[in-house]
Amino acid sequence: MKQRLAELETIIFDLGEVVVDLDTKAVLEQFSKLTNAAGSRLKELLMSTPFLYEYETGQIDKYAFANEMGKAMGVEIRFDDFEYAWNLMVKDITVKRLEFIQQLKKTHQVLILSNTNDMHEGKFELIMQERIGMKMTELAHKAYYSHRIGYRKPNLDIYEFIIEENNLNPQKSLFLDDREDNILAAKEVGLQAQQVMFPDQIFEILSYE
């Protein structure tokens, strides 16, 4: 569904699969090589472990996370090998999307709200420098990363936090995310929200007309 930009004051972007291309398959394939475990089992393990939540909310650092995940997978993995496999998740960021967001920033408040972690942040910042020579935090007026603020989607407190901190009018603020549970939670606190099914869909959703 198209959203008329003239009716909005603020646009809030998730990163993964909205701005940043992800590659879950590559991560699972690399961890399979390191552990000799099936990719389906690894995916279930990665998603169900409490250590991912703790890592993405800044409760543990990357070394503790890698260590605990190695234990969970039943193997000892060198940190450098773990980080390489983990960062395969961040695939690419197209210049077209970045330039579009830069243009939006001239007329609207632009925020980023992402469940992420410091390893992935380091990877996408390298890509940002290669693509347009700036940081992701410079692309938006403010960027909120779960591991830095201690809140994580789809918990309602993360949305309430950015609404309060930025004095947003929820009805004039649009949140874009690829996950349905995150969209439903945003709507629960009154934000306009729309699910992005593929990254370049943002060009279809946001319209100046």
- Residue 39 is predicted with a pLDDT of 64
8-state DSSP, 155: S
The CATH number of the structural domain formed by 3-21+94-207 is 3.40.50.1000
| CA–CA gap between residue 38 and residue 33 (Å, rounded) | 9
Structure tokens at 68: 């605990």
Q: What is the pLDDT of residue 127?
A: 97
Domain range list for the chain:
3-21+94-207, 24-87
Residue 125 in tokens: 């910042």
Give the C-alpha separation, 2 to 33, whole Å: 43
First and final C-alpha spacing in the chain: 13
Pick out the chain residues at pLDDT < 70. Answer: 38-40, 208-209
**Cα–Cα–Cα angle for 96, 162, 6, nearest 5°?**
50
Fold of 24-87: DNA polymerase; domain 1 (1.10.150)
**pLDDT tens digits, one per residue of 50-109:** 999 999 999 999 999 999 999 888 889 999 999 999 999 999 999 999 999 999 999 999
pLDDT of residue 195: 97
pLDDT for 72: 87
CA pair distance 160, 133, nearest whole angstrom: 32
Instruction: Classify the phi-psi angles of 190: left when phi > 0, otherwise alpha if psi is within -120 to 50, otherwise beta.
Output: left
Distance, CA of 101 to CA of 114 (rounded, Å): 16
Q: DSSP assignment, residue 20?
A: B
The pTM (predicted TM-score) of the whole model is 0.94
Q: Which of 155, 152, 149, 203 has its CA nearest to residue 176?
A: 203
Q: What is the pLDDT of residue 74?
A: 85
